[in-house]
């Protein structure tokens, strides 16, 4: 058990760079959104009615929308090498010859990537909030972070889908394609699927949090968490099946 | 058998490909066993089964008394495994990496053991270096240190000297011999047969998943034929023209029936029968040469090498490319 904690520590250390890249990418898109909102009146014809309010809250709302799109993509990229990346680099074989189970190695690597995603989202939310406040005036930082934290749950599904795909594929590119397809499918299905899938498509709940209300938050959080647990179970099933079929060895 | 490695009728099938077909051998504590064969012979698959990374389709394998299928955890604690690819994460330092594996094996003083293993492999001065910045040879040494970090009773080394310079090769071969002398069972797979001759006490030759020969080194080597006597005189040296009649007379005297053939400027005496042996015939030939005032440039009893046995058993055509690449 001590060995697994040591492995988690090393994985978290190695994930610092991933977290930095994630924060940089999401901050760039967040700040670009704020800048675009600021320039909006100049782009519209004179006398036209603004489609959105020119407030910091609206700017942060735009950032949350970006999180759903760009964040999901980043999430897929973080998850795509959990197993197949290790297979490609040849680092899985020595690990599996040590007295640790493949399931614990998988969970440790996935946890480190989710930690990198969370850190990246937290930093980018704070950066975007600072920029929005400096441009449009004050808004509530706690709500901005809470809305981002809520959005983090559905976008984590990208990493989970890609990690499951990486157990089944022998190359990172195949894992990325399969993971992205699964994530898109999940988001598309959320429009028509039963209650536990609907939170994936409910970006508006994050906006409600920003606006001071959040009806159905507990239900949505429960639904999203359940959906993520089901995805995790599917990942582990894919992993054990792949190990049984010896997909990783030529 | 409680220690070492025991393999019985091991079979591994990938889809429709039989990678290993009924392989059996054993490795005793204190000996180095060479697992030799051309590319695709099934060496790496056998190594992976013994390291409990993959499961056999049929057959049985025990490592230090533990079954590789039912007691995987015990097997993994007993084995130091060096895969064909070093497989080192580029972002970690040597020290952190070796310490991690010491922790994964639950050692009491992981940092101390990591430093000790690094010292043993001559990478102690690179403990702070990132793995990605090391040369191929140093990476191989670090991977070997990883296999030794928990001081396992069984070592499985797949191409341990691959990528090493000549001096490092000698050091690694000495290390392997030392590990066996300490009582460890060592299974080494390699293409470089002269190296195997240097460290192995027994060998197992496999090809296309089947065992072709196994046993003590001398026994396997002798399958390539009997020792031959090679004599070469300097070109145009006095008595060069009399060599063949002199040899025929000496062989008659020694009671050895032999075929004489010329190979790269030397005359080779290849025994084919008779009462005498090549050693006593060599004594007679040497005496007669000296009596005739002929001093040979080369005079040796050549024993078949492992490489010759290997080529003879596996088939020259299949091996030509492999051995050429390995040299």
- The pLDDT tens digits for A38-82 are 998 888 888 788 788 888 988 998 898 888 889 999 999 999 999
Q: Which residues of A lie inside 8 Å of B (Cβ-Cβ)?
A: 2-3, 6-7, 10, 14, 17, 89-100, 246, 249
Which residue in the block uniquely carries the two structure tokens 């990418």? A25
Q: Which two tokens stand for residue B177?
A: 């011999």
Is residue A6 in some structural domain?
no
Given a contact cutoff of 8 angstroms between Cβ atoms, the answer to whether B14 and B119 are in contact is no
- The model's confidence at residue A117, banded by pLDDT at 50, 70 and 90, is very high
Q: What is the largest CA-CA distance in chain A?
A: 71
Rounded Cα gap, residues A59 and A131, in angstroms = 9
Question: In this predicted structure, what is the pLDDT of residue B325?
Answer: 37
Please tell me which residue of chain B has the smallest CA distance to A14.
B91
In angstroms, the separation between the Cα of residue A14 and the nearest Cα of chain B is 7
- The model's confidence at residue A204, banded by pLDDT at 50, 70 and 90, is low
Residues of A in contact with B187 (CB under 8 A): none
B92:A91 CB<8 A = no
**Sheet-wide strand order for B17-27:** B17-27, B5-14, B58-63, B66-67
Is residue A8 in some structural domain?
no
Is residue A231 in some structural domain?
yes
A93:B83 CB<8 A = yes
Please tell me which residue of chain A has the smallest CA distance to B103.
A3
Domain with CATH 3.30.70.600 in chain B: 228-302
| Three-class secondary structure of residue B132 per DSSP | helix
Question: In this predicted structure, what is the pLDDT of residue B289?
Answer: 83
Q: Which two tokens stand for residue B31?
A: 């000996």
Rounded Cα gap, residues A64 and A157, in angstroms = 16
**pLDDT over 70 percentage in chain A:** 93
Question: In this predicted structure, what is the pLDDT of residue A193?
Answer: 63
What is the CATH architecture assignment of B228-302? 2-Layer Sandwich (3.30)
pLDDT averaged over every residue in chain A? 87
Between A224 and B149, the higher pLDDT residue: B149
Domain with CATH 3.40.50.300 in chain B: 5-222
Q: What element of type H or E holds B281?
A: helix B278-291
B5-222 maps to CATH 3.40.309.10: no
B106:A2 CB<8 A = yes
Angle at the Cα of B326 from the Cα atoms of B322 and B327, rounded to 5 degrees: 125
- The residue ranges of DSSP E strands in B110-239, in sequence order, are 154-158, 185-190, 202-207, 210-216, 228-232
Task: List residues bridging with B118 in a β-sheet.
Answer: none
Q: Is B298 on the interface with A (CB under 8 A)?
A: no
Interface of B with A in 54-113 (CB under 8 A): 54-55, 73, 76-77, 79, 81, 83, 85-89, 91-92, 96, 99-101, 103-106, 110
**pLDDT over 90 percentage in chain A:** 52
- Into how many domains does chain A fold? 1
Contacts of A49 (CB under 8 A, 6+ apart): none
- How distant is the alpha carbon of residue B109 from its chain centre? 34
Q: What's the predicted TM-score (pTM) here?
A: 0.84
- The model's confidence at residue A22, banded by pLDDT at 50, 70 and 90, is very high
The range of the structural domain enclosing residue A151 comes to 23-42+49-245
Rounded Cα gap, residues B105 and B90, in angstroms = 22
Question: In this predicted structure, what is the pLDDT of residue B63?
Answer: 96
Given a contact cutoff of 8 angstroms between Cβ atoms, the answer to whether A205 and A217 are in contact is yes
B53:A3 CB<8 A = no
Count Cα atoms within 13 angstroms, Cβ side, for A204. 4
Residues of B in contact with A96 (CB under 8 A): 53
A90:B87 CB<8 A = yes
Please tell me which residue of chain B has the smallest CA distance to A91.
B87
Contacts of A158 (CB under 8 A, 6+ apart): A71, A72, A73, A74, A75, A76, A78, A79, A179, A180, A183
pLDDT tens-place string over residues A147-183: 888 888 888 999 999 999 999 998 889 999 999 999 8
Rounded Cα gap, residues B122 and B141, in angstroms = 8
Rounded Cα gap, residues B162 and B82, in angstroms = 11
Mean pLDDT by 10 residues, chain B (327 residues): 88 90 95 91 94 95 95 95 93 95 94 95 94 92 96 96 88 93 95 88 92 88 78 71 80 81 75 72 85 83 81 61 38
Residues of A in contact with B85 (CB under 8 A): 90, 93
CB atoms within 10 A of CB B135: 12
Helices A203-211, A217-245: axis angle to 10 degrees equals 140
Given a contact cutoff of 8 angstroms between Cβ atoms, the answer to whether B207 and B43 are in contact is no
Looking at this predicted complex, what is its ipTM? 0.86
Give me the total of CB pairs closer than 8 Å, taking one residue from chain A and one from chain B. 68
Rounded Cα gap, residues B231 and B302, in angstroms = 10
Q: What element of type H or E holds B6?
A: strand B5-14
Q: Which among A10, A93, A100 has CB closest to B53?
A: A93
Given a contact cutoff of 8 angstroms between Cβ atoms, the answer to whether A78 and A18 are in contact is yes
């Amino acid at each position: 058990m001590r060995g697994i904690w040591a492995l988690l520590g090393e994985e978290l250390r190695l994930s610092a760079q991933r977290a930095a890249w994630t924060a940089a990418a999401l901050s760039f898109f967040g700040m670009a959104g704020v800048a675009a909102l600021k320039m909006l009146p100049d782009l519209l014809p004179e006398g036209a009615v603004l489609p959105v309010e020119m407030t910091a809250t609206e700017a942060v709302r735009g950032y949350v929308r970006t999180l759903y799109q760009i964040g999901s993509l980043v999430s897929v990229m973080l998850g795509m090498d959990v197993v197949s990346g290790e297979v490609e680099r040849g680092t899985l074989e020595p690990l599996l010859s040590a007295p640790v189970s493949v399931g614990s190695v998988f969970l440790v690597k996935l946890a480190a990537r989710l930690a990198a995603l969370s850190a990246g989202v937290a930093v980018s939310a704070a950066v975007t909030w600072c920029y929005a406040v400096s441009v449009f005036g004050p808004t509530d930082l706690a709500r901005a972070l809470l809305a981002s934290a809520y959005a983090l749950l559905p976008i984590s599904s990208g990493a989970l889908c890609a990690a499951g795909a990486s157990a089944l594929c022998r190359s990172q590119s195949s894992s990325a394609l399969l993971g992205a397809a699964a994530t898109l499918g999940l988001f598309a299905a959320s429009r028509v699927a039963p209650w536990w899938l609907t939170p994936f498509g409910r970006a508006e709940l994050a906006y409600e949090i920003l606006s001071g209300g959040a009806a159905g938050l507990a239900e949505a959080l429960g639904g999203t968490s359940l959906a993520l647990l089901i995805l995790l179970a599917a990942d582990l099933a894919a992993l054990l099946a792949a190990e049984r079929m010896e997909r990783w060895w030529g | 058998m409680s220690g070492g490695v025991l393999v019985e009728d091991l079979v591994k099938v990938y889809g429709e490909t039989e990678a290993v077909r009924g392989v059996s051998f054993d490795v005793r504590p204190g000996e180095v066993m060479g697992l030799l064969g051309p590319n695709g012979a099934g060496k790496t698959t056998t190594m992976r089964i013994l390291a409990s990374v993959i499961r056999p389709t049929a057959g049985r394998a025990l490592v230090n008394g533990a079954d590789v299928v039912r007691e995987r955890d015990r097997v993994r604690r007993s084995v130091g495994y060096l895969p064909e690819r070093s497989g080192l994460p580029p972002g970690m330092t040597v020290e952190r990496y070796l310490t991690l594996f010491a922790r994964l094996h639950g050692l009491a003083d992981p940092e101390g053991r990591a430093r000790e293993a690094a010292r043993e492999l001559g990478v102690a001065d690179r403990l702070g270096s990132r793995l990605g910045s090391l040369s191929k040879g140093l990476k191989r040494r670090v991977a070997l240190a990883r296999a030794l970090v928990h001081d396992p009773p069984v070592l499985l080394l797949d191409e341990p000297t691959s990528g090493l310079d000549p001096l490092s090769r000698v050091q690694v071969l000495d290390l392997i011999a030392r590990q066996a002398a300490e009582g460890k069972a060592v299974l080494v797979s390699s293409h470089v047969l002269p190296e195997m001759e240097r460290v192995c006490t027994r060998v197992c030759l496999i090809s296309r998943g089947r065992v072709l020969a196994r046993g003590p080194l001398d026994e396997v080597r002798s399958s390539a034929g009997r020792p031959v006597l090679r004599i070469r005189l300097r070109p145009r040296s006095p008595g060069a023209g009399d060599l063949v009649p002199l040899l025929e007379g000496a062989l008659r005297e020694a009671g050895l029936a032999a075929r004489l053939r010329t190979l790269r400027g030397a005359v080779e005496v290849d025994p084919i029968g008779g009462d005498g042996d090549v050693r006593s015939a060599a004594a007679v030939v040497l005496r007669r040469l000296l009596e005739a005032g002929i001093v040979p440039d080369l005079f040796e009893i050549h024993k078949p090498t492992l490489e010759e046995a290997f080529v003879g058993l596996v088939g020259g055509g299949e091996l030509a490319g492999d051995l050429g690449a390995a040299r």
